[in-house]
Amino acid sequence: MEDFLQLTINGVFRGAFYGALGAGLALILGVTGRFHFSYALTYTVAPFAAYGIAQAVGLSFWPAALVGVLAAVLLSVAIELLIYRPVAARAGANTLLAVMVSSLGFSIVGVALLQLLLGSGSVPFYGPPLQAITVGPVLFTNFDLFQAITSVVLVLALTGLLVWTPLGRSIRATRSNPQLAGALGIRTSRINIVVFAIGGLITGVCAIWYGLQYTVDPIMGDRVIIYSFVVAFLAGTRSSPLRALAVGAVVALLEQWATLVLSVQWSQTAVFLVLVVYMIALSTQRIWRPWLTNRSRATA
């Protein structure tokens, strides 16, 4: 029971983290249609930029963290303006594939450059003091708590932006029908930039907390991008960010609880198995949905 409670609280904290990252990626996918694999690179750049500026100039943690988040935002916007948009303009009917390949390639090149310049090892990133918190049999740290709170605040802020602001209504209109939104006078190209900036902000903040909890290394974004896509697809790219937060919690709890009976490697595989089953069910719904409907009517 103690193990179960510890894994549950770990899943809750990690679920908020997955949910925030999934919400940011789902927003980009839903509005722009870009398969943004470079999401992992913007995640990695934030703590590296914070670490680099802190070492070079001697900034304290919070100003350095702000620089790191800003670097993630600027990189995210630059990827849209300098890579995705020119590629999409030239690709024509193959835009989706061309942007996806470009995104994956740029992410690989970016990680390789980080490894070339800074080495492939991890670097320590220090900030506020780490404190252990014990509640009954459950143990966690202040960083776990701060990361979860920050992730929830980011998701709530994004939800409020989409629901209650003119900018949010423009984003939702562009997500629903870009052509109609453009005909109504909404600058969809600017909306895309705003969406990428929001995604960069979310990755930057989440990565700073992760770097504090563990270490900073060039491949730290690889696992994150996979979980972000899992949450984004399971939650739906056009749904509320709150749904991504809930799905992130479910995914993280499944990952943690699976370690009770499986090794860590296989527990992560269980998460991807859920995504595969979901995608198969989604692609075959024309077959099983009518059968299920007819069977329900017959039973009634």
Q: Mean pLDDT throughout 25-32?
A: 94
pLDDT at 283: 67
Least trusted range by pLDDT, from 13-22, 100-109, 225-234, 290-299: 290-299
Helix-strand-coil split of the chain, %, nearest 5: 80, 5, 15
**Is the predicted pLDDT of residue 282 greater than 70, yes or no?**
no
Least trusted range by pLDDT, from 37-51, 94-108, 281-295: 281-295
Share of the chain above pLDDT 90, in %: 49
C-alpha to C-alpha distance for 184 and 170, rounded to whole angstroms: 10
Q: Mean pLDDT throughout 153-165?
A: 96
- CB of 23 closer than 8 Å to CB of 202: yes
Confidence of residue 172 (pLDDT cuts 50, 70, 90): very high
**Is the predicted pLDDT of residue 135 greater than 90, yes or no?**
no
Give the H/E segment covering residue 133.
Answer: strand 132-135
Confidence of residue 74 (pLDDT cuts 50, 70, 90): very high
Share of the chain above pLDDT 70, in %: 90
pLDDT at 19: 95
**Is the predicted pLDDT of residue 137 greater than 90, yes or no?**
no
pLDDT at 155: 97
Domain covering 2-261 in this structure, CATH number: 1.10.3470
- Phi/psi zone of residue 110: left (φ > 0), alpha (ψ -120 to 50 degrees), beta? alpha
**Is the predicted pLDDT of residue 299 greater than 80, yes or no?**
no
**Is the predicted pLDDT of residue 201 greater than 90, yes or no?**
yes
pLDDT at 93: 76
- CB of 225 closer than 8 Å to CB of 22: no
The angle, 0 to 180 degrees and rounded to 10, between the axes of the packed helices 264-283 and 285-299 is: 80
**Is the predicted pLDDT of residue 192 greater than 90, yes or no?**
yes
Give 239's Cβ-side CA count (13 Å radius).
15
Measuring CA to CA, which residue among 154, 190, 153 is closest to residue 170?
190
pLDDT at 288: 66
pLDDT at 58: 83
**Is the predicted pLDDT of residue 236 greater than 90, yes or no?**
no
Measuring CA to CA, which residue among 184, 222, 193, 265 is closest to residue 43?
222
For 113, residues 6+ apart whose C-beta sits below 8 A from its C-beta are none
Q: Please state the domain extents for the chain.
A: 2-261, 264-300
Q: What is the pTM of this model?
A: 0.90
Greater model confidence, 3 or 194: 194
**Is the predicted pLDDT of residue 275 greater than 70, yes or no?**
no
Bridge partner residues of 132 (DSSP)? 141
Greater model confidence, 103 or 263: 103
